[in-house]
Amino acid sequence: MKKILSVLLALSMACSLAACAGGSSSSEASSEATSEAVSSEAAATEEEAVPAEQDAPQLDAVASGEVMNYDQYMAADLDTEVTIQAYVQAKQSWWEDKATVYLQDQDGGYFAYDMACSEEDYEKLTEGTCIRVTGYKTEWSGEVEIMDGTFEFVDGADTFVSMPLDVTELLGTDELIYSQNQRVAFKGLTVAP
């Protein structure tokens, strides 16, 4: 069995080397063509990125580091720094001076993952407390989140506790993702083993 496996491995390696071999001139031409295609696609994407004047303030908010509304946050590119102001809805965990919490405002929900937080401040993060979070917008397994953020309490802010949004009708649809990180309810369902 070991001999067969060794022969198959050697054969696949030889095929791989043969496939990778080739003249440098054709790969250089291919590289140049690919670079030109990528450049023209990037230029087209940049032109499409701001199709209307209404998108300009959203991009300005990202660039300046000011507090974004939910639409600006969702429009921001992944791996860019974002700043949001929202209300604690639930705490998931605290470990080694990092907290993970669910936040929401009147427009949408946010998930702050591994946010710098002392244990004392974590105890103050009660439901409805308004905080301002600055971190990096990332995505993990389809969930959009704010990673490695810092936060500050917003003094004098009102409290806000969201009511669950009934999304039962959205089960099995692509629209359910738009309720991500919000407090939701599913009605009339049975949990079975």
Q: What pLDDT is stored for residue 3 in this prediction?
A: 60
Residue 78 sits in which domain range?
A: 67-179
The answer as to whether 76 is a domain residue is: yes
Whole-angstrom CA distances from 55 to 36, 39, 60, 191 are 28, 23, 9, 43
Q: Using one digit for the tens of pLDDT, what is the confidence trace for 125-150?
A: 999 999 999 999 999 998 999 999 99
The answer as to whether 109 is a domain residue is: yes
The answer as to whether 192 is a domain residue is: no
The answer as to whether 26 is a domain residue is: no
> What is the spatial distance between Cα 110 and Cα 133, in angstroms, rounded to a whole number?
10
The answer as to whether 124 is a domain residue is: yes
Query: How far, rounded to the nearest angstrom, does the alpha carbon of residue 172 sit from its chain's CA centroid?
Result: 22
User: What's the total number of domains in the chain?
Assistant: 1
Q: What pLDDT is stored for residue 81 in this prediction?
A: 97
Q: Using one digit for the tens of pLDDT, what is the confidence trace for 96-114?
A: 999 999 999 999 999 999 9
Q: What is the CATH number of the domain that holds 165?
A: 2.40.50.200
The answer as to whether 72 is a domain residue is: yes
Q: Using one digit for the tens of pLDDT, what is the confidence trace for 151-188?
A: 999 999 999 999 999 999 999 999 999 999 999 999 99
Neighbours of 63 (CB within 10 A): 10
The answer as to whether 44 is a domain residue is: no
Mean pLDDT of 17-28: 46
Residue 191 has pLDDT above 50, yes or no: yes
Helices (H), 65-175: 70-75, 119-124
Q: What pLDDT is stored for residue 173 in this prediction?
A: 94
Query: How far, rounded to the nearest angstrom, does the alpha carbon of residue 76 sit from its chain's CA centroid?
Result: 10
